[in-house]
Amino acid sequence: MTASLPDLDTLTFKELVAQMVVVRTCGYLFDSQIPYPEWEANTATMQHLVELGIGGVIFLGGSAAELALRSQQMQSWAKIPLLIAADIEEGVGQRFPGGTWFAPPMAISQIARTNPQAEEYAAAMGAITAAEALAIGINWILAPVVDVNNNPDNPVINVRAFGETPAAVSPLANAFIKGAKAYPVLTAAKHFPGHGDTTTDSHVDLPVITHSPSRLAKIELAPFTSAIASGVDAVMSAHLLIECWDAKYPATLSAPILTGQLRDRLGFTGLIVTDALMMDAISKRYGANESPVLAVEAGADILLMPSDPEGAIDAVCEAVKNGRILPQRIRESVERIWQAKRQVEGVKIDPHKIALKLSQPESLQVVERILQQSQIVSGKLPLSPTPNGRNLIVVDNLLGSGKFLTEQSPAITVPKSLGYTTVLCDRHTPFAPKKETDNLPTLMQLFIRGNPFRGSSDLTQIGMNWFKKLSSSHNLQALVIYGSPYILEQLTPAMDSEIPCIFSYGQMPQAQTVALHVLFNV
Amino acid sequence: MTASLPDLDTLTFKELVAQMVVVRTCGYLFDSQIPYPEWEANTATMQHLVELGIGGVIFLGGSAAELALRSQQMQSWAKIPLLIAADIEEGVGQRFPGGTWFAPPMAISQIARTNPQAEEYAAAMGAITAAEALAIGINWILAPVVDVNNNPDNPVINVRAFGETPAAVSPLANAFIKGAKAYPVLTAAKHFPGHGDTTTDSHVDLPVITHSPSRLAKIELAPFTSAIASGVDAVMSAHLLIECWDAKYPATLSAPILTGQLRDRLGFTGLIVTDALMMDAISKRYGANESPVLAVEAGADILLMPSDPEGAIDAVCEAVKNGRILPQRIRESVERIWQAKRQVEGVKIDPHKIALKLSQPESLQVVERILQQSQIVSGKLPLSPTPNGRNLIVVDNLLGSGKFLTEQSPAITVPKSLGYTTVLCDRHTPFAPKKETDNLPTLMQLFIRGNPFRGSSDLTQIGMNWFKKLSSSHNLQALVIYGSPYILEQLTPAMDSEIPCIFSYGQMPQAQTVALHVLFNV
């Protein structure tokens, strides 16, 4: 039973502030399944927070079917309908198994270089993501990423971007927004004012951007201006220090940036939402309960994932009482929240019908076309399978690869059916080729994205060691890379051009099928 | 909306036969998630079969929350309420994440050697499993295993048994049945006439039992007699050739065994259910559609998982038409099925309330007590952690270990927090210790069950290689075995008795916590 939106004047002041807070929770129904108990509240605490009147929740973890139950559970506790958000930049299936899982946005940008149909793909991606999100109770898609990934070493944006120039990003991001907005669902352009040109991951430390205002206007801001014109519902702030605008506070906590630039200069009237406040770049530097106050002062409407939700609410209330924040500041934010909630009000979900709404054949066909058309292929094809060949699979972390790699994944089953022996390798398995298997012709399948290959991650080392070993011993039969085109660029110059090489933006089983179909012609 | 049970006389003959068939399906809601498409029908086919009037479904795969949706979906299609079965011998959580996951039955047998409270644990296991099964729509628990595991090399029963003697098995299996029968749920004693004394896995080939009738009566049959007296609802047949009773047909297809022994001599009036007919030992040897006919002739009431459900129904109808099977034979089976269905009729499930019914703290406490009291500990304890030690984890298959081993599992996180480096090893990672890490003090954690260590599985080889290597170089700091007590028996004689050694029957995260708590006193 979903409640309806009450008159703002019936809320206490604390209730108004609580509406600005969006709390992280997992999609699993049972406390025993919570994967990150230090960051994810248990059911009793979540019920307490929802009954207290938080404005929404953001889901991480759980399957699409579980989300359908879990989102209803949360709404059933709420007096005021909740915003239910998720980082589904690559479709519902990216986060919640069962939904359609798209290749990352940069795949569509790759297609756009030669094919104007790319915009239709971006629109379809937005529409399918929106329809599936609604079917399981998500009413706020935290996408599109409108960052311009003009730095190939960017560890955190990378293939999540719709391109490497504002001219590439804007039309695709706009198409995604328009596709999604055909449904009663909210969107969010992120990460303001642009997270594309940094080599620091803000999950780990606070990146500093030293560009001039004119450069920012030309590159970083253009896609935001364009997304706002396309009707994006929210803009998410970045945890970045933009020196030319505010040398003291990162964008998330900066009044000159959120209010001065985004609200006043760009004239954005929708929701300003912070990126996760619990990230170390914010919570450790500025304090778990001080940073929400700074964010509200700066102009944020939604405080996403504060480390201590009740502490954040109390701190903001206290700041109003002390005169540090004007009551009107809160009222304006909640009015914008009401405007957003009105757009998604009244959507009912029926968990018994979702089987007919997710991962429909037409949706999977769109994904297949995107995968096929964005795939980069070179060398002599098809490859004739070698009996007793080796299928060497390199992933970052075998303990966390279950979403794309199981015993039933095509990357395993297809070579196996052709006589290949599976060998697995990740950061936990030492690089230790054995003399007696030195001369096995090897298909190397590399799953890598986000991590700059030159960096210091263990995958870098072991992947590179294997690549060199196989190349120098002439046993590299074929190379398939799933994920980062920057790794492809790095490896291909060193490769014999006859060796079959396939690059796919996707990592999901469907991407594996498409790639291995071309490789083996099976 | 669950239908109610119609009068038998309103059913056509084909509808009666269809009620004898139970079809395999997975608990995932979306076709794109089906892990074994060659064995698991898609949604459209399942809907067709349910509407055709099959008697029930057996679920494999999916989470507990997903099962709740999926079981309701199936019931909503059915004109006659379905039996919904699952192989939850070790609790709902064994198969469906979110439910309580018990240690295997043999753990309770270990406790029973010294502690009469073991029977209470078995009863609690039955009761908790039943309550949780009902909460997600399962009305038929395919347990308890009442086989007597008197052959340590048994690859398929092993720790699934409640003990190694009939005297050990019977009271615990009876307690499980009584615990479960406090709820409106069905049970099944398996695998008749006893699968404990074989070294062949009937999933792979047809085992032959050469014992005399008197030996069978003394060892194998005793727990079945006792389970029947305790009111078990069904008895599942084994795919075993019992030479002294029927030299031609395995128990599943044998009239002398199912009718002669089970129905007539033991006087069992409940459901006789076959083990999965799609197993090679049956379907390949006797034909996909001939074996269901043979099973009905032999006296089976329920045909479990025939390879071709519609073909099986047609073949049985044809056999009746031809006079090979009497119509009365079918009628008697369906009457027994009606008797069973009446017991579970009218149970409603509320998916929004299951969060309060599964994995409750009291249930997890029972599991913890079983794990603690069945754990076998030796050597000098606690172990002082070595900075820069190695945490070597050996599993059978890294691609299928996600249920007990993820980045968040205690087997990884506890040693990591003490400074250990994780090293993973399975059948896909070659045994290749490197010179430079030869002298690392190593905690070896071995996850193994079911596979006899002496056998030819790759885990055997790589696990044994590591064990020997670490022992001979005096770098084996501690050994933790999760799963098979027979491996413990095999390894301990070769070990320095001072080396800490912990054996746990469980493999789940809770078992890891209990074991590592004793090892490190953390």
Task: Summarize pLDDT for B95-128 with one digit per residue, the tens.
Answer: 999 999 999 999 999 999 999 999 999 999 999 9
pTM of this structure: 0.94
How far apart are the CA of B99 and the nearest CA of chain A, in angstroms? 8
The total of other beta-carbon atoms located within 10 Å of residue A370's CB is 28
Amino acid in the structure at residue B333:
S
Q: Which residues of A touch B72 (CB under 8 A)?
A: 352
Give residue A494's pLDDT.
86
Q: How confident is the model at residue B388 (pLDDT cuts 50, 70, 90)?
A: confident
Q: What percent of chain B has pLDDT over 90?
A: 81
CB contact under 8 A, A30 and B76: no
Cβ contacts of B33 on chain A, cutoff 8 Å: 97-98, 359
Inter-chain residue contact A28 with B65, CB threshold 8 Å: yes
Whether B284 shows a pLDDT value over 80: the answer reads: yes
- Separation in Å, CA of B318 to nearest CA in chain A: 36
**Per-position b or e across B358-382, b if 16+ CB within 10 A of its CB:** bbbeebbebbbbbbebbbeebbeee
- Other beta carbons less than 10 A from residue A365's beta carbon: 11
Band (B424; pLDDT cuts 50, 70, 90): very high
Distance from CA of A364 to the nearest CA of B (A): 9
SS3 A308: coil
pLDDT of residue A81: 97
| Neighbouring-strand partners of residue A503 | A376, A481
Of the residues A275, A301, A396, A426, only one is catalytic, namely A275
**Structure token digits, residue B149:** 């595991």
Q: Express each pLDDT in B314-342 by its tens digit.
A: 999 999 999 999 999 999 999 999 999 99
- Chain centroid to CA A68: how far? 20
* Exposure class string for A103-124: b at 16+ Cβ within 10 A, else e: bbbbbbbbbbeeeeebbebbbb
Judging contacts by C-beta atoms under 8 Å, the chain A residues touching residue B402 are: 402, 406
Best of A28, A32, A39 to disrupt the B interface (most B CBs within 10 Å) is A32
A203 an active-site residue?
yes
User: What pLDDT is recorded for position A449?
Assistant: 84
- pLDDT: which is higher, A53 or B453: A53
pLDDT (0 to 100) of residue A91: 98
Residue B450 has pLDDT above 90, yes or no: no
Q: In what order do the strands lie in the sheet with B271-273?
A: B188-192, B234-237, B271-273
Q: Is the pLDDT of residue B218 over 60?
A: yes
Cα–Cα–Cα angle for A515, A450, B397, nearest 5°?
60
- What is the C-alpha separation between A289 and B436, in angstroms, rounded? 48
Active-site entry in B246, B275, B301, B396: B275
Query: Which pLDDT score is estimated for B39?
Result: 85
What pLDDT score does B348 carry? 83
Q: How far apart are the first and last CA of chain B?
A: 50
Read off the pLDDT of residues B130-178 as tens digits, 9 standing for 90 and up: 999 999 999 999 999 999 999 888 888 899 999 999 999 999 999 999 9
Residue B197: both structure tokens together: 């004394």
- DSSP letter assigned to residue B419: T
Q: Distance between CA B168 and CA A462 in Å, rounded?
A: 51
- Bridge partner list, A481: A446, A503
**What is the reported pLDDT for B454?**
42
- Name residue B390's amino acid: R
Using alpha carbons, list the distances in angstroms from residue A129 to A86, A91, A104, A310, A488.
11, 5, 13, 32, 29
Q: What DSSP string describes A478-506? A: EEEEEE-HHHHHHHGGGS-TTS-EEEES-
With contact defined as beta carbons under 8 Å apart, do A94 and A138 qualify? no
Burial B38-72 (b: 16+ CB within 10 A, else e): eebbebeebbebbebbbbbbbbbbbbbbbbbbbbb
| pLDDT reported for residue A459 | 56
Q: How far is A400 from chain B (nearest CA, A)?
A: 6
Categorize the per-residue pLDDT at B436 as very low, low, confident or very high, splitting at 50, 70 and 90.
low
**CA–CA separation, B262 and B240 (whole Å):** 15
Nearest CA in chain B to A391: B428
Which residues does chain A have within 8 Å of residue B400's beta carbon, measured at their own beta carbons?
A: 406-407
Under 8 Å CB pairs connecting chains A and B tally to 137
Taking alpha carbons only, the member of B227, B237, B90, B245 closest to residue B158 is: B90
Rounded to whole angstroms, the Cα distance separating A337 from B240 reads 67
* DSSP code, position B9: G
Q: What is the pLDDT of residue A387?
A: 85
Candidate from A423-432, B245-254, B410-419, B498-507 with smallest mean pLDDT: A423-432
User: For chain B, what percent of residues have pLDDT higher than 70?
Assistant: 97
Place of tokens 């069945």: B374
Q: How far apart are CA B106 and CA B173, in angstroms?
A: 11
Higher pLDDT, A463 or B436: A463
Torsion angles phi and psi, residue B504, rounded to 5: -125, 135
The stretch B247-268 carries a mean pLDDT of 98
Phi, psi of B83 (to 5 degrees): -75, 135
Question: Which residue would you say has higher pLDDT here, B451 or B107?
Answer: B107
Residues on chain A touching B93 (C-beta within 8 angstroms): 32
Instruction: Flag if A432 and B432 touch (Cβ within 8 Å).
Output: yes
Q: Give the integer Cα–Cα distance in Å for B353 and A419.
A: 49
Return the pLDDT at A456.
Answer: 40
pLDDT at B517 exceeding the cut of 80:
yes
Interface test with A, best of B66, B92, B353 (most A CBs within 10 A): B66
pLDDT confidence band for B7 (50 / 70 / 90)? very high
Query: Residue-wise pLDDT tens for chain A (522 aa)?
Result: 456 899 999 999 999 999 999 999 999 999 989 988 888 889 999 999 999 999 999 999 999 999 999 999 999 999 999 999 999 999 999 999 999 999 999 999 999 999 999 999 999 999 999 999 999 999 999 999 999 999 888 888 899 999 999 999 999 999 999 999 999 999 999 999 999 988 877 777 789 999 999 999 999 999 999 999 999 999 999 999 999 999 999 999 999 999 999 999 999 999 999 999 998 889 999 999 999 999 999 999 999 999 999 999 999 999 999 999 999 999 999 999 999 999 999 888 887 788 889 999 999 999 999 999 999 999 999 999 998 899 999 998 999 999 999 999 999 999 999 999 999 999 888 877 777 677 899 999 999 986 544 444 445 678 888 999 999 999 999 999 999 898 898 888 989 999 999 999 999 999 999 999 999 998
Residue A2: phi, psi to the nearest 5? -95, 130
**Catalytic (active site) residue B203:** yes
